[in-house]
Every structure is written in structure tokens, then in C-alpha cells.
Chain A
Amino acid sequence: MTKKKDILIKARNITNRFGDHNVHDKLNFEIHESEIIGVVGGSGTGKSVLLRTLIGLHKPTSGTVNVLGTDIHECEPMDFLDAQKLWGVLFQSGALFSNQTVLENIEFQLKEHTDLPRDLIRDIAMMKLKMVGLGDEAAMKYPSELSGGMVKRAALARSLALDPKILFLDEPTSGLDPISAEKFDNLILELVRALNISVFMITHDLDSLARLSDKVAVLLDKKIKVATLKEHLKDPHPWMQDYFHGQRAKGAIA
């Protein structure tokens, strides 16, 4: 595809300040169509704050987040609702509703935002459940009865419920064993390619980062550097050297 990819989310001059502490300083960032961006950075560099800013949960100290022409932090609630349909979010611990079964969790947004009949909603939800590799037996279970990997899968199915254009993943493979993590990586890759979704993925898992991401965004010195992994490897900045050339990185980025 040589055609220039559309920009879905455009963040301009984002500054986030907590007390005296500047987390982001006039940071610019975009998410393009069907592109997987891995986001890395040390603790406290504001990865999660950036995610929350992009999806409108956190209002930045200054700066704008533009989604398809509307500034989501300044627009009318109805426009924000429209913008929200553009993305699905997989929270770090899944954030499945504990009082609903897995299937009900996936059905939730369809019930809230459409007037479709129950049996069709159920069919669609079941399809999403199968897509993430969960079976019938998981459908009627409650989140507390699931293993860690199943929670992540169920949460992924829920975030895909309304066919989003962008998927926000907050440490999708944290807490999974290497086999489950690899399977989860494959799953994301497969679904994202099949459904043509963009991904914004915060991760500490260098294997995932190397396998999935088209581009890597590094949060460093209150700014963000977006480039391919190869370009980052050549960056002389000491933190970059430590991160991409440490012992742990060697196996993953070989």
C-alpha cells in the first residue's frame, strides 16, 4: 500500500503537569490508519497518562487531541461519544465487569449503543468470543472464574465489540506466561490485520514490541520519539542504548 495513510488521532502540544512535575512537555503525536505503534518508556514517563489523554479520560494541562476533526477535550458530549466509538480499550487488568458473565460483558456495548434484537447481539458477541479463542464454556463464566490469559482475551473481545478503528492496549501481555503471551501476540496481530485496525500498545515486553509494532514510540525527556525499531537501535541517547541494547533486549531484538 503506497497510498498515504489517514491520521485518526492527532495530539498537538500536549503538556501534562502534576504539581510541579512536568510529565509531558509540548508533545506531538499521531495515530495513523492500520498501524501498530508500540509505546515504551521508563516508569513515570507518562505512558498511561498519554493513553488516558488520547482517549479523553484525562484532560491535559494544555494541548489538543483531535479525533476526526473534533477536539475531544473541548467538544460537546455527543461529539465525544461519536469519537469514542472509534476506539476500544484493553485495560491492564482487563477491567471486565465482575457482576456480568463474559458474554454479557461483550454484549454490553451492543446493548447500550444499538437497538438490535437480543439473539443477534448474542450471535455477534459469541463470534467475538470465538475470535479471541475462547470457547462456549468461558461464555457463561464470571471474570473471577477465569485465568489471567482468559481475562485478557475476554477483555480483548469486549474492546472489539463495536468494531473499533483503533485499539488501545495497556500492557496486553503483562502477567502472562511466555507461551500465553506469544499466543496473545499472534492473536492481536491476526485480528488487527484481518480487521484493519490501528493499535496503540503500551508494553514492557520486548518480544511483543519487536514482533508486533510497525513503529515504536519512546517517551523520553518529556517528549515522544516515533521511529521504526531499527532507527531506535542506532539512537545514541544513553537511555535508548540501555533499553535496546541491555541483556534483556538482546534475545528479543536479535
Chain B
Amino acid sequence: MQFYTVKRLKRRKEKHLLLKGDWTVENLSEIYKDVSRENFQNWKKTVFDGKNVEGLDTSAAAYLQKLEKDDALHVELKGFSKNHREMFDLVGQYSCKPPSHQQPELTWRTLLMMYGRKAESFWQLGSYILSIFGQFIYNLIQIGAGRQRFRPRSIVYHINEIGIRALPVIFLMAFAISLVMGYQGATQLQNFGATIYTIDLVAISVLREMGVLLTAIMVAGRTGSAFAAQLGTMKLNEEIDALQTMGVSPFNALILPRLAGILIALPVLTFLANIVAFIGLYIYCDIALDITLSQFMNRLGSVITPAHFWTGMIKAPVFALIIGAVGCMQGMQVRHSAEDVGKHTTHAVVQSIFMVILMDSVFSIIFTNLDI
């Protein structure tokens, strides 16, 4: 559909566009395409005659006015009805230049500033996590002294959320991991005719590393993110401010039960994950390697020592505190919008998994040097 017809007055060097139809935002894309193809340069002026225009809205009026104001085009608007002229007045009254978006120049100075800011915020996050540990211990002492409220119901609720509800997924993971490791180990050990050592391989690595590490990663994904999202949403909704005004410490009411819950749940989950991994290993040994239950138990009993067990278990509460603190910290960092909640939830998961793995290597170094 055409929204104008062209009339050329050669002698007067004028080009007339006789507008028709609805000049509204719905048709404006099409109108824009057509008008842009018109030649304005060879004419002394181009007249937009609005006599037959039916509808005119603010967007189209703004567009026409923009053309008129462009000195290079020599556009004249005429013949518009009274209603339409009022529309032009309205639009003209409010038209203005959009503010230019200044991008800060990238010099060595701004670059340095950027890294400085990043480093500072990293430092602040670190000290925030440390302060959560500090407050946790302080609050425990306060509770012990009877000066702060102890909330066992809340802790039990979080143990259920973090621990019991996570059981199926943790079991499945532990089972699958021991099968995979058993299969990989047995395939290699077969070359030496030493498939019985598969049990050594899997049992020790599950006890020392895999059990606790994978459980912690799973819990970081499940629970760390939940902490950040719950606290972040409460923060946005001013619920945390509300708690504060009622004289209840948000730390005591929200963060402490979560930390206590994860501190109890993660070691228990780790322990159960280890057991399920052994069951998975036995099933693999029974089916693929023809190892009987008594053989399996004998081998397992001679391989695993309390040291293996405890080097794994000792990590669980440390990982729990890291995941809990990072999740809560990220939740409390939410400031402005729903987008912030998503951002900090992602940060919580990424940072806590990163720190768990980092801590795990620190433990490895310590245990190796202590010959445990």
C-alpha cells in the first residue's frame, strides 16, 4: 500500500508528496522505507501535503517534524487539518535531542582503576565471608550464654531442605561415580591381572576425595544457590530491613540456621554418599569382576583405615561453611532488581565451587606433607 503519491513541479523545482491513508506507527516502517528512497537533493524544496491524511499519531508526527528540521532536505509540511496541526504542536513542544551516551575512554588510567576496583571488591567479598565466620562463632557463643535466641526448628527445617531432600540425587551420583571409577580402574588393572586392586583404587579415592568433593559440589549447586536466591529476594522485598526494625538480628534469624543446617547436613550426606559408593562398587565387582561379597569385604577391610576415612570427613564441615557463607553473602549483596538476584545466585554457585576445589587442594598439600 502506498501512503503518498508524488507530483513533480519541474518549473518551480518542487516535488510534492500528496500524503494519504493512516500515518501511524503501525505503517511507519513502510512509510520510512518509501520516503528514504525519495530523492530530496535535486529539488529546491519537497512539500509534504497532508490534505488527505486520515490518521496521524505522535510517532509519525515526530518523524515528519524530524524531516522538516533537517536543513539538508528542504522539507515543507502543509495542508494538514487543524487536529493534525495540534498533533504537530504537541510533538514539537516535547521534541528534544536524546542525551549522548558517553563511553568512558579506555586509557591506562581507567584500566588501572578498573582492576583496582575489581581487586578491592574481591578483597571486600573475602572480608565479608570472614566476618560471616566471625559472626557465626560469636552468635554461637551468645546463644550458649543465653543472650541470643536459639532456633532449633529453623535449623531442623534447613537440615531437611539441604540434607534429606538431597538424598536421592546424592545417592544416584555416588552410585554412578563408583561404577564409572570401578569400570575405568578395572579396565586398566586388567592388563596386570590385578583387578582386585580396583577395590583399593575406588575405595581410597572415594573416601579421601571423590565422596566429599562431589557431594560438596552437588550441595553448592542445590543449596548455595537457594541461599543466595532466598536471601536476595527477601532483601529486595525489604524483609531483612523489617526483621532489623523488629529488633531481630537477620544473622541470627536467617543466616545462622542456614549455616548450622548445612554444617550438620553436609558431613552426614558425605558419609552416606561414601556408603552408597561402596555398594555401587560391590555391585560392579560382583557383576563384572566376579568378586564375592566375602572377598570384597576382606579386601575393603584391609584397605581402608581410619586415616582415609577422616581425611575425607574432616573436609566436609569446612566445605559446608564455605558454601553456606558464600551463598548467604551473595544473597545479602543483592541491591536493586530481580536481575541482581540471578546474578548473585550464579556468583554464589561459581564462587563456592571454586573455593571448595581450592580448599581441597590446600587440604591435599597439608595431608601429603603430614604423610597421612
* B-binding residues in A (CB < 8 A): 85, 98-99, 103, 110, 114-117, 120, 122-128, 130-131, 136-137, 139-140, 142-145, 160, 162-163, 194-195
Nearest A-chain residue to B60, judged by Cβ = A163
A143 touches B98 (CB 8 A): no
Question: CB-nearest residue of chain B relative to A139?
Answer: B99
* A122-B98 in contact given A128-B58, A142-B337, A194-B90 (Cβ < 8 Å): yes
Given A116-B32, A144-B337, A163-B25: A126 and B96 interface contact (C-beta under 8 Å): yes
Of the candidates A99, A117, A123, A127, the one whose C-beta lies within 8 Å of that of B337 is A99
Q: Are B29 and A115 closer than 8 Å at their CB atoms?
A: yes
27 A-B pairs in the complex with CB atoms less than 8 angstroms apart: A85-B26, A98-B336, A103-B98, A114-B25, A114-B28, A115-B32, A115-B33, A116-B28, A120-B32, A120-B62, A120-B63, A120-B66, A123-B95, A123-B98, A126-B95, A126-B96, A130-B94, A131-B58, A142-B336, A142-B337, A144-B335, A160-B58, A162-B26, A163-B58, A194-B90, A195-B57, A195-B90
Of A85, A127, A137, A163, most buried by chain B (CB within 10 Å of CB) is A127
Decide: B339 and A136 in contact? CB cutoff 8 A. Answer: no
* Size of interface on B: residues with Cβ below 8 Å to A: 28
Q: Which residues of B are found within 8 Å of A137, using beta-carbon distances?
A: 99
B90 neighbours in A (Cβ, 8 Å): 131, 194-195
Do B94 and A163 have beta carbons less than 8 Å apart? no
CB of B109 within 8 Å of the partner chain: no
Contact B59 A126 (CB under 8 A): no
Contact of B94 among A117, A122, A127 (CB under 8 A): A127
B92-124 interface mask toward A, CB cutoff 8 Å, 1 = contact, 0 = none?
A: 001111110100000000000000000000000
Other-chain residue from B26, B96, B335 in contact with A130 (beta carbon distance below 8 A): B96
Please give the distance in Å from A186's CB to the nearest CB on chain B.
Answer: 15
Q: Say if the beta carbon of B338 comes within 8 Å of chain A.
A: yes
Check B29–A114 contact: CB distance below 8 A: yes
Q: Nearest chain B CB to A99's CB is how many angstroms away?
A: 4
Which chain B residue shows the least CB distance to A190? B90
Are A127 and B96 in contact (CB-based, < 8 A)? yes
Contact status A136-B95, CB under 8 Å: no
| Residue B91 lies at the interface, judged by CB distance under 8 Å to chain A | yes
Name which residue of chain A comes closest to B29, CB basis: A115
> Taking the nearest CB of chain B, how far is it from the CB of A240, in angstroms?
37
Render B327-338 as a binary contact track against A, CB cut-off 8 A, 1 for contact: 000000001111
Cα distance, A123 to B337, chains bound together (Å): 27
Q: B241 an interface residue at 8 Å Cβ cutoff? A: no
- B window 55-71: CB within 8 A of A: 57-59, 62-63, 66
Closest Cβ neighbor of B338 among chain A residues: A98
Bound: A240/B96 CA distance, A: 47
- Write out the residue numbers on chain B whose beta carbons fall within 8 Å of the beta carbon of A124: 58-59, 62-63
In the assembled complex, the CB of A134 is this many whole angstroms from the nearest CB of chain B, namely: 11
B residues whose Cβ falls under 8 Å from a Cβ of A? 24-26, 28-29, 32-33, 57-59, 62-63, 66, 86, 90-91, 94-99, 101, 335-339
Q: Are A127 and B62 in contact (CB under 8 A)?
A: yes
The residue of chain B having its C-beta at the shortest distance from the C-beta of A163 within the complex is B57
Other than the given A98-B339, A195-B57, 17 more pairs (CB < 8 A) read A98-B338, A114-B25, A114-B28, A115-B33, A117-B32, A120-B32, A120-B62, A120-B66, A122-B98, A123-B62, A127-B91, A127-B96, A128-B94, A136-B98, A136-B99, A137-B99, A163-B25
Chain A min CB distance to B250 (Å): 21
- Across the interface, which residues of A come within 8 angstroms of B25, CB to CB? 110, 114, 162-163
CB-nearest residue of chain A relative to B337? A98
Contact A127 B95 (CB under 8 A): yes
Residues of A within 8 A of B339 (CB): 98-99
Q: Which residues of B contact A126 (CB under 8 A)?
A: 95-98
User: Would B99 and A163 count as touching, CB distance under 8 A?
Assistant: no
Query: Is B98 touching A144 in the complex (CB atoms < 8 A)?
Result: no
Select from chain A the residue with minimum beta-carbon distance to B31.
A116
Is B29's CB under 8 angstroms from A131's CB? no
**Which residue in chain B gives the minimum CB-CB distance to A144?**
B336
Taking CB atoms, residues of chain A closer than 8 Å to B335 are 144
CB-CB under 8 A from A115, the residues of chain B are: 29, 32-33
Contact of B99 among A114, A116, A140, A194 (CB under 8 A): A140
Set B24, B28, B66, B338: member contacting A123, Cβ < 8 A: B66
User: Which residues of the other chain, A, contact B94 by a CB distance below 8 angstroms?
Assistant: 127-128, 130-131
A162 → B minimal CB distance (Å)? 5
How far is A104 from B29 in the complex, measured between Cα atoms in Å? 19
- Bound complex: CA A198 to CA B90 (Å): 18
Complex Cα–Cα for A140 and B57 (A): 25
* Closest-CB distance, A32 to chain B (whole angstroms): 18
Contact A163 B59 (CB under 8 A): yes
| Nearest 10 Cβ contacts at the A-B interface | A98-B337, A144-B336, A130-B94, A163-B57, A115-B29, A136-B99, A99-B339, A126-B98, A114-B29, A122-B98
Q: A165: shortest Cβ distance to chain B, in Å?
A: 10
Enumerate chain B residues within 8 angstroms of A123, measured Cβ to Cβ. Answer: 62, 66, 95, 98
Cα A122 to Cα B58 with chains together (Å): 13
Closest to B55 in A: A163
B91 neighbours in A (Cβ, 8 Å): 127
Q: Residue among A99, A128, A142, A163 with the most chain B CB within 10 A?
A: A163
CA distance A180 to B259 in the complex (A): 45
**CB of B103, distance to nearest CB on chain A (Å):** 12
| Complex contacts, A136 vs chain B, CB 8 Å | 96, 98-99
What chain A residues lie within 8 Å of B99 (beta carbons)?
136-137, 139-140
Among A116, A122, A140, max chain B CB count under 10 A is at A116
